[in-house]
Chains A and B, each alone.
Chain A
């Protein structure tokens, strides 16, 4: 059955997942973590990564019981159409809200930082044209684009980190656990929604090589965790707490302070591809995944008619907040705090339903 064969390789799957999870480090997400964890905020991503790993293992346990099916189809089989509709709406909300608020925030930041005379509608349109085109071309196109551009992203990010080494201050580590263990732990447990994007694994599962979902999930979360930790830690090292909490876009500030002699000033333009590409990949994935959820929900074989529909939802969502600050705050409040628990509850419900119905629970990754 050639049309059910994997079209996303392990490497592309990992890339897609880790960019989808971690692209928010280039936005204001880091600032909220810095508020929670103070100068020990870098511990929070580590704890979150461990929690994310558990979530991935749970998700893979659900998926492996039903080879060749994605999360929506599995939900339909196990929980029935009505309850699954609720589940699917949750998945859709994760994709649409995430993409919408990201679109608003990045558009505002581009206008503020790079195109002050350009209307935001023009900037938003530019982002949408790019992401809709690639999302429309399909999962293959999204995954391969992400894989091709990941080199630019990783190299630029590491350069951004390394070029700020002269500004690092060691003493900002102390007190080592900031406001205390409980504060850090509380901060971690209230920002687990950082990893709600592991949901993507459930949507692309049928197109991954058989038996590789766990590998993709675990590596995707680990690499995302690495970048989360780095991008939370480095701003603290440079700007120290509490100054760092006043920044809307810590990575932009990091780029601004880089100074390579008299000629190498205002280097932020060099790092513009990081913000643009990371968020465009995030949005393209969201549009594709949202359309895929809708297609499955409405039992249609083709996701493409829904791409434009999801784009409209996303654009509308993007312009509900009054400004970028509200967009990022809502994104944090609705997605980054407790949404992960909702996803875990759905996974547990599905696992329980599978056990009760005697379906799938005993199968391994190869469906045997």
Chain B
């Protein structure tokens, strides 16, 4: 009788149980995978089966990393498709029509570069193409120096370089002089008379050696073991040019990018290759003390704008063959050289791969500064907190790289990015490690207090003055009330005026020319200190609050993090004006909740506190250096042990007993 009801209720309430694709987890990484990606993920999971089943707290951060990667690959693929389709629509038809010849020329040039067109055997043809590529004669930077190599008969050659970014002395002494003056003296018995070097091959020790790739005539292959040189070109490279770095270029794009990086390209008539000679020589700032990360104890050198100098500064500290420096070109229109540094025997290969993948995937016109690259590679660009640690100290980079992190150095920028980065990293300073541990721990405590004050002190002032007057002792209450008696504004307006004035002074202080910087100090002090109080715009207590808040924000060691705190302070002030302390606490709750979803290269931002992973003695406070035995667990490094349990070997005393027991 009620079968229809049963059928209906079954239809509404019951479906065959299926494994639900869980979105109970949060964040972009938890979107269901596409079929193709699923298969890949499964294959991956199969490969890492052992670690998947061995689930524990510490593995969680690493799993987040994997998960993130899968999800991001999806979104990135979709994103890139959309981007490509959009790119086509963004052409400006009118202007293209007007300058159609220019457009056609540019397209030709792009084609030469993109299709990796090989160099010609003919010197003149190479010259014409390169002039086209470098927009000569309009472009006066590109120099085409013709020369004759001093052999018998002389070989025609051409040196191409960009004026101003090459070292003229190196070019003269290590390139031009050997080629033009000394090459004959080195007994290059090369060509048969009448043959070009390319056609002829080279006579060496009575044997005829065909040039590389050419038919030897007699059908005999070149015996590389007995012939030190393959041909004339090889001999020039091996025996004539005393440059410390010489490479061969076979395509125009190789030559162009090398020349643009300060090298010189040597073309020789008859060869479809160019010698790319190390002649970089632009001016750069020398190594000097760090500008924003000064320490009292510790090295007083900071990074410069020279990429190679920066990598050297790191390598100078880490004398290990496993320190790897890889170069990645970042950006589309004007690719920028980035160096990725990591310890091959410590860093998690997945992390390294992910960093390189993100860098290589950047498509941007101008990504030449660390700050720009940072924004392109961070996990959650909409969040307020920085997800990459930036530093200008080589010692800090070295210590982080030795922990298993990856450093990215951007050419032309003295700030190096270290990833992944957690909340606790942002509150650390190199100074903590260079003083004895109780003082290091104390300084960190002071810094956390500074963070609290910078973020919440003005908000607390508003909350107490507006809502919770009864919570402060009577004497203090009287003092505050008396001071505020003549102030016509409500506390929120008063605080906003002062905070805005302070932010204005701070911003102006950064932009102001140095010569009139002192004027700003005087103006600021007058406005903030005396005039505002005298005019009864703000109360003297508020001046103290703003000053302490400023001190607190200056105590935050990371500039990007300090910026986010500066901004969030206003949010908390507004919350306090709405609901007093309750508003602040609700704000903190949401703030922590949101921060707990942030990840830096797959590592949760609040690790190792939430999620809990194995903690070392250096995350909240600074522990004794001899007790820091393991690397951060959330990085999942190849080697977890940083030092033996008894790192102070002298305590052993040769009796085999543990140092700790003897302490």
Enumerate chain A interface residues (CB-CB to B < 8 A). 1-7, 9-12, 68, 73, 76-77, 81-82, 85, 110, 114-115, 118, 122-123, 126-127, 129-131, 133-134, 137-145, 147-149, 206-207, 209-210, 262-263, 265-266, 268-269, 272-273, 276-277, 280, 284, 292, 295-296, 299-304
Contact = CB atoms under 8 A, between A and B. Distances in A.
Nearest to A140: B26
A145 B596 CA distance: 6
B41 A2 contact: yes
Contacts of A73: 17
Interface in B13-38: 13-15, 17-27, 30, 32-33
B552 to A, nearest CB: 19
Nearest to A138: B26
A146 to B, nearest CB: 8
B65 to A, nearest CB: 11
Nearest to A288: B24
B42 to A, nearest CB: 8
Contact of A11 (B30, B41, B57): B57
B579 A299 contact: no
Interface of B: 9-10, 13-15, 17-27, 30, 32-33, 41-42, 45, 52-53, 55-57, 60, 63, 66-67, 70, 467-468, 470-473, 578-583, 585-587, 589-590, 592-594, 596-597, 604, 606, 609-612
B56 A209 contact: yes
Nearest to B53: A210
A300 B19 CA distance: 10
Contacts of B55: 5-6, 209-210
A141 B30 CA distance: 13
A250 B589 CA distance: 24
B27 to A, nearest CB: 7
A266 B26 contact: no
Given A2-B66, A144-B606, A280 B579 contact: no
Contacts of B589: 130-131, 134, 145, 149, 276-277, 280
A2 B609 CA distance: 23
22 contacts: A1-B42, A3-B33, A4-B19, A5-B52, A9-B56, A73-B17, A81-B10, A114-B580, A115-B580, A126-B578, A133-B590, A137-B26, A140-B25, A144-B596, A145-B589, A148-B592, A149-B592, A206-B24, A273-B585, A292-B24, A299-B18, A303-B23
Nearest to B620: A151
B377 to A, nearest CB: 22
Contacts of B56: 9-10, 209
B593 A145 contact: yes
A122 B579 contact: yes
A141 B581 contact: no
A129 B586 contact: yes
B599 to A, nearest CB: 10
Given A10-B57, A130-B589, A266-B471, A3 B25 contact: yes
Contact of A144 (B67, B471, B583, B604): B604
Contacts of A4: 19, 22
Nearest to B55: A209
A241 to B, nearest CB: 30
Nearest to A263: B473
A292 B24 CA distance: 8
A3 B60 contact: no
B153 to A, nearest CB: 69
Contact of B611 (A3, A12, A272, A273): A12
Given A2-B67, A269-B471, A110 B596 contact: no
B24 A276 contact: no
B611 A9 contact: yes
A138 B597 contact: yes
Contacts of A299: 15, 17-18, 20
Q: Closest 4 CB pairs between A and B?
A: A138-B26, A144-B596, A9-B57, A134-B593
Contacts of B10: 81
Contact of A7 (B42, B60, B66): B60
B582 A276 contact: yes
A260 B569 CA distance: 31
A38 to B, nearest CB: 34
Contact of A12 (B23, B581, B612): B612
Nearest to A146: B610
Nearest to A139: B24
Nearest to A270: B471
A299 B19 CA distance: 10
Contact of A3 (B22, B53, B583): B22
A284 B70 CA distance: 29
A141 B63 contact: no
Contacts of A206: 22, 24
A3 B610 contact: no
A209 B25 CA distance: 14
Nearest to A5: B63
Contacts of B26: 137-141
Contacts of A303: 23-24
Contacts of B610: 12, 143-145, 147-148
B23 A301 contact: yes
A131 B590 CA distance: 8
Nearest to A268: B471
Contacts of A276: 582, 585-586, 589
A141 B596 contact: yes
B453 to A, nearest CB: 16
A284 B26 CA distance: 14
A271 to B, nearest CB: 11
A299 B56 CA distance: 29
Contacts of A139: 24-26
B398 to A, nearest CB: 30
A129 B590 CA distance: 9
B120 to A, nearest CB: 52
A131 to B, nearest CB: 8
Most buried by A among B30, B33, B582, B592: B582
A265 B473 contact: yes
Given A210-B53, A302-B23, A115 B467 contact: yes
Contacts of B27: 138, 140
Given A77-B17, A149-B592, A144 B611 contact: yes
